[in-house]
Structure 1
Amino acid sequence: MIGENTAKKRRGRLRIFFGYVPGAGKTRAMLEAAHAEQKNGQQVLAGYIEAHDRADIAELINGLELLPPLDIPVNGTTRREFDLDQAIRRRPDLILLDELAHINAPGVRHKRRVQDMEELLRAGIDVYTTVSIEQLESMSDVVASTTGMAEPARIPDSVFERADQVEFIDISPDIWLKRLHDGRIFSTEQLRQEAGDLYTPQKLIALRELAQRYRADQFKRYEGRLGERAVEANLYSREHILVCLSSAISNKKVIRTAARMAEDLQGEFTALYVETSRTKELTARNKSELRENLRLAEQLNAQVATVYGEDVPAQIAEYAKTSRVSKIILGRSQNRSRWSVGSGFVDKLTAAAPNIDIYIIPDQESALQSKIPQYARPPLLTLADTGKTLGILLVCTIIGLWFKVLGFSEANIITVYILGVLLDAMVTKGRLYSAVTSILSVLVFNYFFTEPYFSLQAYDSGYPVTFLVMLAASFITSTLTLRVKEQARESAQKAYRTEVLLETSRKLQQAKDTPAILSETALQMLKLLDRSIIIYEVVDDGLSEPLLYNKDGSTIDAQKAKLEAEREVAEWVLRNNKRAGASTDTFSAAHCLYHAVRSGDTVFAVAGIVMQQEEPLEVFESSLMIAMLGECALALEKDKLNELQKESSLQIRQEQLRANLLRGISHDLRTPLTSISGNAGILIGNSAVLSEEQKQELYNDIYDDSIWLINLVENLLSITRIDNGALHLNFQAELLEEVIAEALLHVNRNKEDHVIRVVLEEELLMARMDSRLIIQVIINLVDNAIKYSGSGSHITLSARQEKGLVVVEVADDGPGISPEAKAKVFEMFYTADNVRGDGRRGLGLGLALCKSIIHAHGGHIEVQDHAPQGTVFRFTLLAEEVNVHE
């Protein structure tokens, strides 16, 4: 089922066959273990096996069921890949998946085979797989420094941590080299030659030691997790490693080093990125590198955090002190970049965080220009800014000439030009125009206002000093102005994003139901990201119709068919509780990036951001969006809890109603039933000795009691239908005179003992009603007046029209109702003083039923005193005009 929560299923078990070199026997050991499982009755499916044309592997594959591969065309050739969908449909007990670090061909659901493995485990299928030491993300740099070659296909170390069993396949270097020369590892001479050159005996010994040490460290960490409670007892004793992210290629080595340190120390691991005003100016290549570094940190189990500010060391120190960081890891390469730190950067950071250990990871690789973060430079000259600069210089010159005519000193004219430089720095972009304006101001001042005039020469020996002071003042003024502009832009951006989050929280709190919450979330995401948004609500473990919002706030129509074609991606996100789509490794060809709106393992909705022809989300935008989706999940969870609380309250109410009904029926039905059975027994046993008058009296008693029971049952059924929402109203225009007449035919037969009078203001008085229910209301009200007023009382039914309403009254001259009883008379199971004119107790359902029916008609019912004595029940209905042409 699409919406079935896979987290609640039994998760499959993962067994990793781990080695330090290709050809160590990992695949062979995996196949032998699979045959043993098959003998034990397990259904084993060979999902994907790399045989490498080896006869011993092909022999072991015999006897196992092979899954047909998925043929993917790539650049005119065909690549064979693991068929994930077919494997899940087959649902074996165990799947063999060789080469876990393999990168899938374009067009496959997941970019990497390790993601296929994760989905198999979530589906409850056990997986056997193989991994080599160079394929581990945290060890790739160490292995590359040993072998001289980096492995492009890698897996996160968290896979090892989640494995149920890791079996180290050991082999001595001598035996491995003998297998290599005998052709038992690679089938061609060229591959054997390349492997022999790459894996020398010394390198094999080093790799073997690395693998054994890594496996031992994993075992220690496992033991440490068993005693995790004892470690968590003292939070301040835990190490907290902070690594700084950047867009440099060499930053990957820093991240891996920090991850290994966090694992060795069994501490927390955080990756921090400081976004500045120039982050948006990074080139597309550097933005891609930044996203890759961020993804690498996430794969290595880092908690990613983002802060915003121009002073990078201060921001790092402030975050480190707030988060109780114990160690900060930085990178340093031969080329200086923003994160390739120098002594000044470290000095500032050390001064701001003196109690935190700082580690500098050097980059010994060749200093390539591509490692330096590059910024997309705006055009140096633009027509608009050039015009502004020339215009400001012209205005300053005109004002200076005017000041000269008025006899002002040269110092005043210099002030005008400095003011012009400040104004130019405010209205133009970049530092170039400010610098040019500073220089031109000096030249123009020299040309127009120093002797000899209209020349760049100066006779006065003090003028050069004046020029230098003027130029320095202009540069300082422009620099300070540009810095203020940057700070203002930074403050405005912070304020805007903070306002969006606060507004989101406020609007989600004010939203009344789930559709309103999702709508507000989509609008806030659109406001934050300026991208089209698509929202799927989870209904009955599946996805509802999408809510689509365009950039301008209108509903998307043209893209609806295209987005509906991607519903499969949203359904996958719902099933697996993980993000997918554009800019991810799952369904990377999709047009949207899909996130689960979740709280724990429960998915409430799926949100999609349209990414087609749009740049990927920035780091800070992504963090804010995830926070916004978290707020939405909390609001949806609260709404669901409120619904459950309402259902619980309704169930409690229904249980109370049931208990009250049973309690009332058990007591109040006993009297009429006893009377009926007793009178019937007298008639059966003594009919011969009873006179006709006595028999008629017994008949009347039986009839009265049976009618009372019938009315009681009718009221019970009506109350039950209204309470369950099963009452269907058939509104029509009805004549009040006919409705009242019909009701009087069915009232208590004791009506002959009372004077009942009908007073209508108009003969053709009509109201909008369901006649059968209004007849029941009138019967209940008249019966109530008959029962609670003595014989010979006067009962008046009247009706009149007032302001579009028909007012119906039932008045009697009985003993009346006390003020305390008036407030409760329409409550269910309430009876005024429990006394009736016939001495029989009622259940208190009649007036409660009247109130429910009148409210269903959109009217109002009330009780008042009747002067000089008695009670008046009054209710209203919507009036209908009489059509005289009918």
Structure 2
Amino acid sequence: MATTPIRSGSTPEVTTVNTPQKKRGKLKIFLGYAPGAGTTCAMLRSGLVAQNDGTDVVAGYINPRGRPDTAALIKGLEMLPHTGNANDGHGFQEFELDHALLRKPDLILIDDLAHTNAAGNRHKKRYQDVEELLRAGIHVYTTMDVQQLESLADIVSSITGMSVHDRIPDSVFDSADLVEFVDIEPDTLIGRLKMGKIYSNQETERAHARLFAKEKLNALREIALQRTAAQLNRIGSQIRAQAGRNEYAVKDHILVCLSPAASNKKVIRTAARMAEVFRGQFTALFVETPETKPVTEKNKTGLRENLRLAEQLGAQIATVYGDDVPGQIAEYAKTSHVSKIVLGRSPHQKRGFSKSTVVDKLIDLVPNIETYIIPYSETSFYKRSSIYLKSPVLSLADMAKTVSILAACTLVGAWFNQLGFREANIITVYILGVLLNATVTKGRIYSAICSIMSVIVFNFFFTEPYYSLKATDPGYPVTFLVMLVASFVMSTLTMRVREQALQSAQKAYRTEVLLETSRKLQQAKDSSAIMDETANQMVKLLDRTIIFYSIQQDDLSEPLIYPKKGSAVLQIYTGENEHAVAEWVYRNNKRAGATTDTFSDAHCLYHAVRGGDTVFAIAAIVMDQEEPLEVFEKSLMIAMLGECALAMEKERLNEQQQEIFMQIRQEQLRANLLRQISHDLRTPLTSISGNAGILIGNSEMLSEEQKKGLFTDIYDDAMWLILLVENLLSISRIENGTINLNLQAELMEEVIAEALLHVNRNSEKHMIQTVLEDEWIMARMDTRLIVQVLINLVDNAIKYTQTGSHITISAKRDKHMVLVEVSDDGPGIAEETKAKLFDMFYTANNIRGDGHRGLGLGLSLCKSIVNAHGGTMGVRDHFPRGTVFLFTLQAEEVSVYE
């Protein structure tokens, strides 16, 4: 069922304005391999050089750290004001992003690229502030240490024995336009530490002292040199690619498998480094299984963190749904042409009697794909045995069902016992009860309880000695064991079938939603309908309130709210703060809001509906007091928004194509008009100029009758030209939509009489009469235009009929309309001509009685004028011969005043 949007104010039709794209600023990173290497001073010196060259340079944020040389360099630069104190309690202030955007210098210097901003700032990380500055066209110089690269976190930790908390995604470093490595000898750096020139705080110095061992500094220095060389090589490759000399036409495809384990971060970073080395495509795959739903909140949080880490390292996120994890990974790897798979494996996993782990099964399924195993200490998320290690949550309803089924089986067994049935029949009843229990209860714990209790109850009631748990027959233990195993196996199979059925139903439902979305978007008529269909499908998929902002004249329109069933729409979801987040998403073409690092305090998650660099709309998903989106839901939502963007882009292209078509049509009309005018105006203009020349040169030799004839010809040709110009002006006003109708109630008798005063002077050679059903017939019209219509129709009748023909103008009431007819008894019009008679420039190859060829504008103009009055116009044959042109106008009632 579709969700009706709640419109906050009037919402105009969705349009997209293509604003000129701002030129992106350039990023230069000063890279060091350890604190105190001199990156801040090197950045400041470069900034001062640029300032001396005439560049507008400001210092956005510089952390002096109590170093005199740094403080001396800062004095030569304009400092932007800072806000607040950092959350670490050391008195550091925060970079003010909005002030920098308002100041908008050519170049801004910002220290500590990997810094984590204080709570309440727009972005969580400083590198996100830098990205917004770059999008605003501001060049940025910044500093960082090589330990702060996300993909190197594990390697650096193993070298230094310390964990760096402030890190940046490798994609930020890789996007730098220039990297300058600030080098210093390790011995010199250690000497600076001993002299107290690196840390002003002794406690901080002691905490970091173990980093300043020569062998550790040499290792970090080597890594920094390698990353700098790789970045310079990448920049050179991009330049060569832009010049048409791409050296890496064939690329590897690296696939990493996601899990909630904390050690999965190491696997992701390893895969990211491989993708960097091999210059390959990087994909992170998550296999959602039926066991994904009941995992703990800790695992959900870990999965979201690993997913975000993969995105930060440049991975394309993919999700598949299935019960067989190795099979799903292998199928995706084959269809996506993966060349290398990176997996994690715990060294503590038990093999058993066969290769039963995910890693081993995957290697067997894809023997031709290179598989890299990264060892770590935690067990696999996909290990099925872990499902049983979770603390079971008991339900009174399911326990009641279990007890009821056991009681029913016992009663049936007692009945069978009285009838003399064998014990095997009673055992079958209990196995059937276990199967039924597995079907009606949720969780394997109830099947296990039912299986064990079935053996105990059977032993208690149906084996000798009765009503005792002792078993005298030596075969009973075997019977009990077989019964217990059979119950466990059957309950397990039943639970698995039910899980697979649920999994298939969920997968079918989600696939149906996507197919339905695609179908509905194809049938949508305009951008507003596309937004409505997309929002309704998102509500159906996510079961959350959806808000859409369309783009109108380079600004956000009023929000369209699509509430989920049974939920209240709060004002805070569309308040000023939330609107500011949506505005930021539109301006920056980036997602923001809840569950992101930008405006994380917002109540909604905002995504741009975009096609390339063009944003068509902003979609907001209400996340307030809701669980974060699951991986599969998120991927489907992004796919839906992509479909929406494609549909909107198609709609925009259709509109542009229609505009181009109209422009072509107008150009064709102009070309036809010029061609017709150049041909058909030659005759009357030549006649006028020739007759005027005769009058000027030979006026004394001409008789009065000859002069009168020449004057008459000049007059006729001039009147023909005047009528033509009037028609052209009226046509242009109607085509451009600039004609204004002055509608008033007028007597048809007076309008017809006015028109007859201006018809062709040859009207005296024809019998023209007016026939009115009632002399008080009134119609609503613009008198000037309707008079022109009547003049054109009567002139046509005069010019295309023989001398002495009868022309009749009649008017009568026809319900709420006035029917006006102009009939003649001329030669008539052929049937094949009538269909095109009102087309512009159509003349049917007729030559007028006065020798002038028409432009085909008169009847087209008449129909346009009548249609503008809300009437209709047509033509029919006149009995017994001739033609009738007819049109209708809105009738008006006659008011009689005494």
Fold conserved between structures, TM > 0.5: yes
Q: Does the alignment pair 1:386 with 2:409?
A: no
Structure 1: gaps (5+ residues): none
Structure 1 range deviating more: 184-193 or 392-401: 392-401
User: Contact 1:251–1:293 (CA<8 Å) still a contact in 2?
Assistant: yes
User: 1:846/1:794 Cα in 2 relative to 1: closer, same or farther (>3 Å)?
Assistant: same
Mark the CA change 1:373 to 1:105 in structure 2 (over 3 Å): closer, same or farther.
farther
Q: Is the 8 A contact 1:9 1:122 kept in 2?
A: yes
Q: Give TM-score scaled by structure 2 length.
A: 0.90
Pick from 147, 150, 157 the counterpart of residue 134 of structure 1: 147
Distance 1:307 1:761 in 2: 80
In structure 2, relative to structure 1, the CA distance for the partners of 1:778 and 1:467 (3 Å cut) is farther
- Mapped to 1, the partners of 2:636 and 2:391 lie a distance apart of 27
Aligned residue for 1:590, secondary structure, equals coil
Alpha-carbon distance in 2 for matches of 1:833, 1:216: 79
| d(CA) in 2 for partners of 1:634, 1:4 | 16
Q: Distance in 1 between matches of 2:601 and 2:19?
A: 25
Q: What's the offset of the Cα at 1:425?
A: 1.6
Distance 1:846 1:653 in 2: 19
Of the three residues 331, 342, 349, the one matched with 1:318 is: 331
- Alignment of 1:89 with 2:118, yes or no, is no
Q: Distance in 2 between matches of 1:332 and 1:780?
A: 91
Is this contact kept in 2: 1:810–1:872, CA < 8 A?
A: yes
Determine if the alignment matches structure 1 residue 594 to structure 2 residue 592: no
Structure 1 residues 623 and 6 mapped into 2: Cα distance closer, same or farther (>3 Å)? farther
Whether 2:803 is the aligned partner of 1:786: answer no
Q: Deviations over 1:40-97 (max 9, x none)?
A: 1112101111111111111111111111112258699975111111112212121111
| Partner-residue secondary structure (3-state), 1:96 | strand
The amino acid across from 1:796 in the alignment is T
Q: 1:74 to 1:885 in 2, by over 3 A?
A: farther
How many positions carry a matched residue from both structures?
876
Map Cα deviations across residues 678-714 of structure 1 (whole Å, 9 max, x no partner).
5455556666666665555444444433332232222
What RMSD in Å do the two structures reach over aligned CA positions? 3.3
Distance 1:454 1:810 in 2: 114
Cα deviation, residue 204, structure 1: 1.8
> Per-residue displacement from partner, 1:206-236 (whole Å, max 9, x unpaired)?
222222233334344445556667777763x
Structure 2 residue identity aligned to 1:671: T
1:154 matched residue in structure 2: 167
The alpha-carbon deviation at position 262 of structure 1 amounts to: 1.8
Shift of 1:29: 1.2
8 A contact 1:273–1:305 mirrored in 2: yes
Shift of 1:451: 6.1
CA displacement at 1:154 relative to structure 2: 0.6
Structure 2 counterpart of 1:330, one-letter code: L
SS of the residue 1:607 aligns to:
strand
Note if 1:491 corresponds to 2:493.
Answer: no
Where does residue 15 of structure 1 map in the other structure?
28
Mark the CA change 1:422 to 1:881 in structure 2 (over 3 Å): closer, same or farther: farther
* Change beyond 3 A, Cα 1:353–1:36: same
Contact 1:536 1:545 in 2 (8 A): yes
Residue pair 1:283, 1:374 contacting (<8 A) in 2 also: no
Distance 1:468 1:193 in 2: 65
Q: What amino acid does structure 1 have at the position aligned with 2:287?
A: V
Task: Tell me if the contact between 1:272 and 1:304 (Cα under 8 Å) persists in the aligned partners.
Answer: yes
Deviations 1:269-294 (A, max 9, x none): 21111111222323333222212211
**Which range is displaced more, 771-780 or 714-723?**
771-780
Q: Are the counterparts in 2 of residues 6 and 123 from structure 1 also a CA contact under 8 Å?
A: no
C-alpha distance in 1 between matches for 2:390 and 2:630:
18
Q: 1:801 to 1:213 in 2, by over 3 A?
A: same
- Is it true that 1:348 corresponds to 2:361 in the alignment? yes
Task: Mark the CA change 1:367 to 1:542 in structure 2 (over 3 Å): closer, same or farther.
Answer: closer
Q: 2:835 aligns with which of 823, 828, 832?
A: 823
Q: Percent identity of the aligned residues? A: 66
Contact 1:274 1:308 in 2 (8 A): yes
Higher RCO, 1 vs 2 (CA within 8 Å, ≥6 residues apart): 2
Residues in 1 aligned to 2:222 and 2:274: alpha-carbon distance in whole angstroms: 18
Read off the aligned partner of 1:146 and give its amino acid letter: I
What residue in structure 2 maps to residue 306 of structure 1? 319
1: distance between equivalents of 2:144 and 2:734?
66
**Aligned residue in 2 for 1:481:** 494
Contact 1:283/1:376 (8 A) holds in 2: no
Whether contact under 8 Å (2:573, 2:604) holds in the other structure is no
In structure 1, the partner of 2:536 is 523
The yes-or-no answer on 1:662 pairing with 2:674 is: yes
Matches within 5 A, 1:92-241: 92-223=105-236, 235=250, 238-241=251-254
Distance 1:373 1:431 in 2: 13
Query: Is 2:573–2:603's contact at 8 Å kept on the other side of the alignment?
Result: no
Query: Aligned to 2:293, which of 270, 280, 283?
Result: 280
> What is the deviation of 1:246?
1.0
1:672 to 662, 684, 701: 684
After TM superposition, the structure 1 = structure 2 runs for residues 798-809 of structure 1, keeping only pairs within 5 Å, are 798-802=810-814, 805-809=817-821
Structure 1 residue aligned with 2:277, among 229, 251, 264? 264
Look up the match of 1:836: 848
Give runs of aligned pairs for residues 869-880 of structure 1, distance below 5 A.
Answer: 869-878=881-890
Per-residue deviation, 1:867: 2.4
Residue 251 of structure 1: aligned partner:
264
Say if 1:212 and 1:881 are closer, same or farther in 2 by CA, change over 3 A: same
Q: Structure 1 366/605 Cα, relative in aligned 2: closer, same or farther at 3 Å?
A: closer
Deviation at 1:564, TM superposition (A): 4.1
Q: 1:507 to 1:330 in 2, by over 3 A?
A: same
Cα offsets for 1:814-851 (capped at 9, x unmatched): 11122332222111111132311222221110111122
The question of 1:854 aligning with 2:855 is answered no
Distance between the aligned counterparts of 1:367 and 1:827, measured in 2?
77
State the Cα distance separating 1:363 from its structure 2 match. 2.4
Q: CA deviation at 1:651?
A: 0.9
Aligned to 2:588: 576
> Could you say which residue in structure 1 is the equivalent of 2:625?
613
Does the 8 A contact of 2:348 with 2:377 survive in 1?
Answer: no
Q: Check whether the contact 1:286–1:373 (CA below 8 A) recurs between aligned residues.
A: no
Q: Work out whether residues 810 and 822 of structure 2, in 8 Å CA contact, stay in contact via their aligned partners in 1.
A: yes
Sort the Cα spacing of 1:291 and 1:691 in 2 relative to 1 into closer, same or farther, 3 A.
same
Amino acid of the structure 2 residue aligned with 1:119: E
Residue 642 in structure 1 maps to residue 663 in structure 2: no
State the Cα distance separating 1:186 from its structure 2 match: 1.8
Please, which runs of 5 or more residues in structure 2 have no aligned partner?
Answer: 1-15
Name the aligned partner's letter for residue 507 of structure 2: K
Q: Secondary structure at the match of 2:845?
A: helix
Measured in 2, the distance between the counterparts of 1:406 and 1:737 equals 111
Q: Kindly indicate whether the alpha-carbon contact (under 8 Å) linking 1:242 and 1:328 is maintained by their aligned counterparts in 2.
A: yes
Distance 1:287 1:194 in 2: 34
* Aligned residue identity for 1:714: E
> CA shift at 1:649, angstroms?
0.9
Aligned to 1:31: 44
- Which amino acid is 1:652 matched to? I
SS of the equivalent of 2:293 reads: helix
Deviates further, 190-199 or 242-251: 190-199
Cα deviations across residues 471-517 of structure 1 (Å, max 9, x unaligned)?
33332222111111111111111111111111111111111111111
The residue type equivalent to 2:810 in the other structure is: S
In structure 2, the residue matched to 1:542 is 555
- Please report how far the alpha carbon of residue 773 of structure 1 lies from its aligned counterpart in structure 2 after TM superposition: 3.3
2:19–2:554 Cα contact (<8 Å) kept = no
Partner of 2:13: none
Aligned mates of 1:640, 1:366 — CA distance in 2: 52
Q: Distance in 2 between matches of 1:376 and 1:827?
A: 83
Q: In structure 2, what is the equivalent of residue 754 of structure 1?
A: 766
Task: State yes or no: 1:62 paired with 2:75.
Answer: yes
8 Å contact 2:343–2:359 — kept in the other structure?
no
**Residues 180, 228 of structure 2: 8 Å contact kept:** no
Counterpart contact for 2:291–2:387, Cα < 8 Å: no
Deviation (angstroms), 1:557? 5.9
Any conservation in 2 of the 1:286–1:374 contact (CA below 8 Å)? Answer: no
Give the CA deviation at 1:242: 1.3
Task: Give me the whole-angstrom Cα distance separating, in 2, the residues matched to 1:157 and 1:540.
Answer: 37
Structure 1 counterpart of 2:279, one-letter code: Q
Cα 1:83–1:4 change in 2 (3 A) is farther
Cα distance change on mapping 1:342 and 1:686 into 2, 3 Å: same
Please state whether the residue corresponding to 2:768 is helix, strand or coil: strand
> Residue type of the partner of 1:166?
V
